[in-house]
Every structure is written in C-alpha cells, then in structure tokens.
A and B are shown apart, each in its own frame.
Chain A
Amino acid sequence: MNMALLEVQDLSIQFGGVKAVQNVSFSIDAGIVYAVIGPNGAGKTTLFNLITGIYTPTAGSILLDGQPIQGKSPDVLAKRGVARTFQNLQICMNMSAVENVMVGAHLRLDRNLFKAALRWPALKARDLDLHAEALELMRFVGLEAYASASADSMSYGALKRLEIARALAMKPRLLFLDEPAAGLNPKETIEVDALIRKVADTGVTVVLVEHDMKMVMNLSDRILVLDYGRKLAEGTAAEVRRNPDVIAAYLGAHA
C-alpha cells in the first residue's frame, strides 16, 4: 500500500496547436475518492480519456501499480481493473437494461464462440448467475424498477446510473466517473452523491470529474484542480478551498 495505485507523471497531449493537457502530475492512493475539477475547457475529460486509453499522450507516463499504461487501449485497461462512465452517455440502446449491465462482466466470462453456439451447460449456468448478479447491481444503484426494461425506454438520469452499474459489473479497482451529476436535477444529484459514497465504501477507488462543488467537497478525499490544461492545485478539500490560485481561477482575480 506504499505505492500509489495510479501515478501520472508529466502528462501532456497536444491536438494540433492546442495543448489540452500540459505536464500534469499527480498520484492516487488506493481506496480514496479523488476529484478532478476546473473551469470548462480545463482538460478534465481529456485527462480522463488519456488515462482510460481513449487518447494517447504526446508526452509523459501513466503508471498503474507501477506499470506503464499510457497509450494502451481501453479493452486492455479493462483487464487491469479500470472502468469508466461517460459524460455523453455511451449506452447500448439496442439492448435491454440488464444486458447492458451484463456486458460489463464481459471479461469475467467464458467468451468462447463455439461453446456459446453449442449451448455449453457450464456457460449457460454462468450466464444465469450473471443475470442475477446484474439485477442485484441494478438494485444497488437504485434501478430495480427497470429490471425488465429496454435501455431506450429509460430516462437520462436512470441511464447515468445504468452506466455506473455496468462499470461496477466489471468489479473494477479503479472507477472513473465523468460528470456523474451532469444533467441531473437536485434530487437526482443527491441520490448520485449517496450512490458514489456507497461505491467508495466497497473499496473501489473512485476518480470523478464534476462541476457540482457541493458534491465534490462532500465526497472527495483529495482534489486536483486543472486550469488551461495545467495543474493549478492539489490537496484535501479544505486545502484546495483555501488556495488563492484556485479562488482566482474560479471567481476572478479580485474576489
């Protein structure tokens, strides 16, 4: 437990002339809730995309358990226990809600095509177990009402929680939540807040990007503040709140 779970060193990415992320370094210990905040355009989602393998950095490294993972594709990272949700929902609308969650367990199952085609009994049994497990996960995130619903019949708020259920089905060690409260009304936001707390209590390391300051200050053990792609500050919620640079960035220099 001495070594941080995730270590980001001098990470940078450039899109043409735009330096979306510049020399960002930080580390995340296992078991905490870590938030990444910053004004719009600060590079938060880009940072997420870098760590979860959607983008490849132009410089710097990302270490998971001390092993470099920068540039590795998302499906490889999934094997290492990294899960994420998306700011612009990525739900498979062509499937039912339960099936979306079951897909999350993809790597934990026997994916052999021939056994599947021939209805191998062991495979079928595991599938039934998985179905039950998926329903249980849906109950955990508060979606028991949608047990037999299809994904395209669900509300935005419900789908956001479905994505979390899917991510949890991966039994991840590291869960990235990209703006989990975006687009939710105050009541739904409180529910998501409680849900994230519940998830963190199970031992999963949660990293979230969020604009809702109350939620961030409530939930997070440590916070990273980004501005124009650079690290502005890092520390506990109390430390960050007092940091003059952070205040200036958010509220203007003469606050």
Chain B
Amino acid sequence: MSKHPYRGLTLIAAVLLLLPLVLPNSFYVDLAIRMAINAVIVLGLNLLIGFAGQISLGHAGFIGIGAYASAALPTHFGWHPLLAVVAGAIAAGALAAVLARPIFRLKGHYLAMATLGLGIIINIVVRNEAALTGGPDGMAVPPMVFGSFEISGDKPWYWIVASLLCFSIWASINLIDSPFGRALRALHGSEVASKVVGVNVLRYKLTVFVMSAMFASIMGSVTALYVGFVTPNLADFFHSIELVTMVVIGGMGSIYGSVLGAVLLTALPQALATFEGWETVVFGAILMLSMIFMPKGLVPTLAARFGKGE
C-alpha cells in the first residue's frame, strides 16, 4: 500500500505512448504488441497463481478458446467478430467454472492436474476438428469490423492493446488494495484464517480462476484478430508453461513483475529463434534457477534488495 500506487503505471503508460516514435520498424511494433498481450494474460494468471496461490498448467487452452471462437464463429456461422469475442470469453469462463467447482475442494496440486488435462484436451480437439478449426494447419481469422471500418494492421492494434494493458494494470492495482484483493491474499496466506473471518474460500478461488480464464480468452481473441491467423500452437502445453514461466520469473503476486516477465519471455524466443533446442533448454533452466534462487521472482526480490515498497 504505497503512497503513489500508480507511479509505475504512469511510467508504463508514458513508455507505451512514446514507443511507436522510437521503434525502427513494424517488426518491433509487432513484438511490442505481443509483449503487451502476454502481459495482460499474465496479469490474470498471476492473480490466480501469485495471489490466490493456485496453479493452472493449461491456461493456453483458454487462450485457444478465445482465439478459435474469433476464427470459427464469424467464418462458419457468420457471427459478428465482437460477439465472437464475448462468446469465447463466456465459454472459457463457463468451462473454468465447471472444472473448478469440484477441484477446488481438493488439495493444491489437484488443480494443476485438472488444468493440465483440460489444456491438453482442448489442444487435441482443436487439432482434430479440422472442419471447424482448420486442424493442425490452422485457419484465417476475419478481422474486427465496426460498420465499414475494419481494424487491422499493427497501428490500430498497438493502441488497442496498449490501452487494454494500462487498464488491466490499473484495475489490478485497485483490486489488490481492496476488500476483495485482501481476501484473496489472506486466502493465500492462511486459508483457515480467511474462512474464520468470513471469506467464502471456494467462491473466491472460483471467481479468480474464472476471471483469469476469461482474461486469457479475450486476449486469445485479440491475438487472433491481430495476427489474422490461428494455429493449434496457441493452445498447447508449452505455451501454458511459457505463461507460468512469465508469472514465476517476474514475480508471483507482483503486478509489475507480470509485465516484466511477459516482456522478457516474449523477447527470449525471438533471440533464440535459430537455436530451437536451446530455447527449450533455456526456458527450463530459467524456470529451475529462478525457483531455486529467486522463488519470489525478479521484481519482489529486487524490490526487497533495494528497500523499495511495491
């Protein structure tokens, strides 16, 4: 609870505003957009992992739901792209709710198993149902339109995604320091204590899980609309692990850590693009090393080291 909770946000907003002036070409704008998209997903995931202390190993599945909703619903059923985004989010949320209700009554690692299973099932479905999804090769995504105005290309999407990111950060900061946020953190700190002060633990875990699933789905739709194409890789196990890595390395429970983690680990595959096997090794090494030496993640560890508040 610092005196200037929005200081970091202002800085990020400033950076986002100035970035397009500095970036040399559209490759970098594209990279920035991908970083921002990942940052929003990671923020949602961090609420689940870092604050509520639960783990999801299948979050890419929810991204896939949103992405493929934006691809298939307009293409095969003529839905308006915006409606498809909403439908994807609702489907992801509903799936999360159905899954979570029985699982959250059990111990911690059961959710890991269940989300793992769900993510893999979604990936297999997407690969198999070629008529709907284009199968392993993927399919094209009709762009977002408002009347006759089509939103495509990196310029408009940059501003949309940047705004989404700023809003998400703002909302997350507000959330952490609110009765809801405190209940969530208390839940992570001591479930028994939180129950005893009146927190309906099951309902909170459920809410956070559903929220993070819907965030992921919406950003999946955004990715699909921006790129104009979806492939099953968007919803595979490795992608789920990448996201968890971003949470972990940036800092579990840290808002700015989420952004940092997303930025670093979106750039990393680009740097390692020519060294395929090495990308896997480096990711794995990062996961291991950061959990062994810096279990709180970069931002919290650095913050503690330099004595700043968050």
Contacts and interface: CB of A to CB of B under 8 A. Distances in A.
A–B proximity contact (CB within 8 A): yes
A2 interface: no
Contact of B192 (A86, A100, A106, A109): A86
Given A86-B192, A90-B192, A112-B180, A78 B175 contact: no
Interface in B175-208: 175, 177-183, 185-186, 188-190, 192-201, 207
A109 B179 contact: yes
Q: Is the interface of B mostly helix, strand, loop or mixed?
A: helix
A117 B43 CA distance: 13
B179, B194, B199 interface centre (most CB from chain A within 10 Å):
B179
Nearest to B176: A116
Contacts, number: 105
A99 B207 CA distance: 21
Contacts of B207: 113
A109 to B, nearest CB: 4
A106 B199 contact: yes
B171 A117 contact: yes
A214 B298 CA distance: 51
B57 to A, nearest CB: 22
Nearest to B174: A119
Contacts of B196: 52, 74-75, 78, 83-84, 90
Nearest to B182: A103
Contacts of A103: 182-183, 186, 193-194, 197, 199
Interface of B: 1, 170-172, 174-175, 177-183, 185-186, 188-190, 192-201, 207, 211, 253
30 contacts: A75-B199, A75-B200, A75-B201, A86-B193, A90-B196, A91-B189, A91-B190, A91-B193, A92-B185, A92-B194, A93-B189, A94-B188, A95-B189, A99-B1, A102-B182, A103-B199, A106-B199, A111-B180, A113-B207, A116-B178, A116-B179, A116-B180, A116-B181, A117-B171, A117-B175, A119-B170, A119-B174, A127-B177, A127-B178, A169-B197
